[in-house]
Structure 1
Amino acid sequence: MMFYMPTKVIYEPDCVISHGRDIAALGTHALIVTGHNSSQKNGSLADVTKVLDMNGVKYTVFNETEENPSVETIMKARDIGLTKGADFVIGIGGGSALDASKAVSVMMKNPESSWELMYDNSAVPEHLPLAAVPTTCGTGSEVTGVAVLTRHDLKTKLSMVHKVFPDIALCDGKYLLTAPKQLIANTAVDALSHMIESYINVSASPFSRMCAESGMKLWKSCKDFLTGDAPLDIDTANDLLTASTFGGMAIAQTGTSLPHALSYTLTYEGGIPHGAAVGAFQSGYIRNAAPSDREQVLSLTGFADTDELGQFIADISPVNVSAELLEQAAEKLLCNPKKLAVCPYRADADIIRDITGGVICSG
């Protein structure tokens, strides 16, 4: 067994402010990689720039990170960071911004390289120091080495081959409080998917399952909020964010499995949000697992059976997808032996189509 988690994780109220010196210690000029406006609305960008000002650190804000960031966006951010003389990177936002910040940190450290470096298995590139400030409760990207990017040339999403763990992750649930309820639901489903796919995985170990189990217990405690109309309170926000981080720690050890591979087609071709797309396949993925694994996951998440779990996900994070697109997703997965190999049970064509055939569509 092996457990590798090099990121320093800080969980406390106002941790960005109280640990500003830890951020400032990373360099003299930060390139802040974030989305278009959410970090401004939730106060995370203001907190980060405040501590940088307090510590005499220059910064440049790149706020053009789109959902499912593309390779082209990474290179644009890289060029701006180099022009401004940035020597470290801060990612603020959900998985898109955090994943983008990882890729940018690699490309800025290797200014003479083309974008192909991100997918060059023969290279071992260094990267700039990196801080992560998560503002959603889905990807756990603040504690993983993975950066999933959109490849328009391949018409899909594909992980950068190099692992980049943030040096420090500053986690504060208050940044979730202004997020739309649907965004919270979609990202919470993504976090649950990470825990399930890590638990039911050929690389699962007692260490990775420790993280997944702890995260699923916390996630279960938030189910009433996800199905109700009550506003998000700080305790629930912290629990959702912590569950997401546990999910990130779990997949940092094992990687994801079949549902994530299937979801990329739905997101790229159908425009379905990642959390909703990956959640649509969880019921079928669990249903085909070993009985002991299936029963443990259902027990930890508080569902009587896989049908109840599937309906819960469909209710809070709905999808509307054609049979043709589901078949396209299945065909792509069946041509991906590397992803098929991480599934702990025999994932043949019949099994894959059983998983895709169980998707509950809205409307």
Structure 2
Amino acid sequence: MKFYMPVKLYQEVNCVKNHASEIASLGSRAVLVTGGSSSKKNGSLSDVEGVLDDSGIPFTLFDGVEQNPSTDTVMKIRDQAVDFGADLCIGIGGGSSLDAAKAAALMIKNSDKGIDYLYEKGNPVDTIPVVEVPTTCGTGSEVTAVSVLTNHKTNTKGSIPYKIFPSLGLADPGYLKSLPLSVLRNTAVDALAHLWESLINAHSDTYSNMTAEAGLKAWSLNRDILSGMVRASDRDFSNLMTASVLGGMSIAQVGTTIPHGLSYALTLNAGIPHGQACGYFEAGYLSHADKDLRDKALSLAGFKDLDDWREFYSEVSEQLTVSDEVLSRAVDELQESKMALAPFHCDRKILNEIARDL
């Protein structure tokens, strides 16, 4: 067994300001990587900019990261950062911004390489330092080495082969307060998928189960928040962030499995948000797991049984339906590496059952 999580992580209110000196110690010129609006609304971008200004660190802002960031976007960040002379990359936002920042840090360091370098295997993981500031409660990217990118040339979505752990993760639950309920739901379901797929995983062990089980317990405290029955308090936002971070720690050890692999086709071909797309396949995945393990996974997350989860998912996904054509494509395009992580026999018949459970 092993547990490797080299990120220095802080989770607290005013996290960025509280650890300004540690940010400043990592570089002398920074590129900030974020999306178009959310980091401006929740205050995270201004917090980072303020810390850099106070520390005398010049920065350039790239605020064009799209949902499901593309390799083309990573190269645009690289070019802007290299022109500016950046030696520190700071990702601010949801998983898209955080993943793009990791990949950009690789390409900034290897500025003489072309876009194909992102998918070359066997190269050293040589990057400029990365700081990640999550503003959603699903990705866990601030504590994983994974960068998931969309390649429009091949119409595929998946992880690049480099394992890029950030140097510093700054998780402030206060940034969640401005999220619409739909985004809170989508990202929280993503965190739940990370936790379940870590617990029900061929590579799970005592250490990965430790973080997965703790994360599920934290996640279970927020069911009424996600249902819209209760307004979230500061403690609720903290629990949501904790579940997300622990989900990231868990998949950093064992990886995600079939639901995540199937989800990529829904995101690429039907425009379904990532967490919602992963959640679509969780019932089917759990239904094929060992009964005792399935019951444990459901109970830890606060569900009585699979039907209870199905009912909850239908509610928070607003009765999402997916065409048979897209589901077939998801099965056809599933990566074998995701199938290999399922702790049960899996063939095409079972994949079709998982894909069409709802």
Distance across 2 between alignment mates of 1:358 and 1:29: 50
2:323 counterpart letter in structure 1: S
Distance across 2 between alignment mates of 1:216 and 1:112: 43
Please report the RMSD computed on the Cα atoms of aligned residues, expressed in angstroms.
Answer: 0.9
More deviation in 188-197 or 145-154?
A: 145-154
Distance across 2 between alignment mates of 1:125 and 1:158: 18
The answer for the alignment partner of 2:346 in structure 1 is: 347
Q: How does 1:144-223 map to 2 (within 5 A)?
A: 144-223=144-223
Instruction: Compute the displacement of 1:53 (Å).
Output: 0.8
Distance across 2 between alignment mates of 1:324 and 1:77: 35
Task: Render the CA deviation track for 1:39-66: whole Å, top value 9, x for unaligned.
Answer: 0000000111111111111111100000
Contact 1:189 1:317 in 2 (8 A): no
Contact 1:110 1:125 in 2 (8 A): no
The answer for the alignment partner of 2:323 in structure 1 is: 322
Contact 1:94 1:135 in 2 (8 A): yes
Distance across 2 between alignment mates of 1:213 and 1:53: 40
Aligned residues: 357
Distance across 2 between alignment mates of 1:271 and 1:134: 22
Instruction: Compute the displacement of 1:229 (Å).
Output: 4.4
The answer for the alignment partner of 1:13 in structure 2 is: 13
Distance across 1 between alignment mates of 2:49 and 2:241: 22
2:261 counterpart letter in structure 1: A
Does residue 100 (structure 1) correspond to residue 108 (structure 2)? The answer is no
Task: Render the CA deviation track for 1:266-321: whole Å, top value 9, x for unaligned.
Answer: 00000000011000000110110011210110110121211211221121124231
SS at match of 1:177: helix
Instruction: Compute the displacement of 1:125 (Å).
Output: 3.6
Gaps of 5+ in 1: none
TM-score by length of 1: 0.97
The answer for the alignment partner of 1:308 in structure 2 is: 308
Contact 1:280 1:310 in 2 (8 A): no
Instruction: Compute the displacement of 1:230 (Å).
Output: 3.8
SS at match of 1:344: coil
1:109 counterpart letter in structure 2: K
The answer for the alignment partner of 2:270 in structure 1 is: 270
Sequence identity of aligned pairs in percent?
46
Distance across 2 between alignment mates of 1:109 and 1:216: 37
The answer for the alignment partner of 1:118 in structure 2 is: 118
The answer for the alignment partner of 2:245 in structure 1 is: 245
Distance across 1 between alignment mates of 2:73 and 2:23: 24
SS at match of 1:91: strand
Task: Render the CA deviation track for 1:333-362: whole Å, top value 9, x for unaligned.
Answer: 2xx322211111011111111111112xxx
2:66 counterpart letter in structure 1: E
Contact 2:125 2:163 in 1 (8 A): no
Distance across 2 between alignment mates of 1:304 and 1:210: 22
Instruction: Compute the displacement of 1:95 (Å).
Output: 0.3
Instruction: Compute the displacement of 1:142 (Å).
Output: 0.4
1:312 counterpart letter in structure 2: F
Distance across 2 between alignment mates of 1:236 and 1:41: 20
Distance across 1 between alignment mates of 2:125 and 2:186: 33
TM-score by length of 2: 0.98
The answer for the alignment partner of 1:338 in structure 2 is: 337
Task: Render the CA deviation track for 1:191-225: whole Å, top value 9, x for unaligned.
Answer: 00000001111110110111010010010000011
Contact 1:33 1:61 in 2 (8 A): yes
SS at match of 2:175: helix
Instruction: Compute the displacement of 1:249 (Å).
Output: 0.1
1:324 counterpart letter in structure 2: E
Task: Render the CA deviation track for 1:51-99: whole Å, top value 9, x for unaligned.
Answer: 1111111111100000000000000000000001111100000000000
Distance across 2 between alignment mates of 1:337 and 1:230: 41
Gaps of 5+ in 2: none
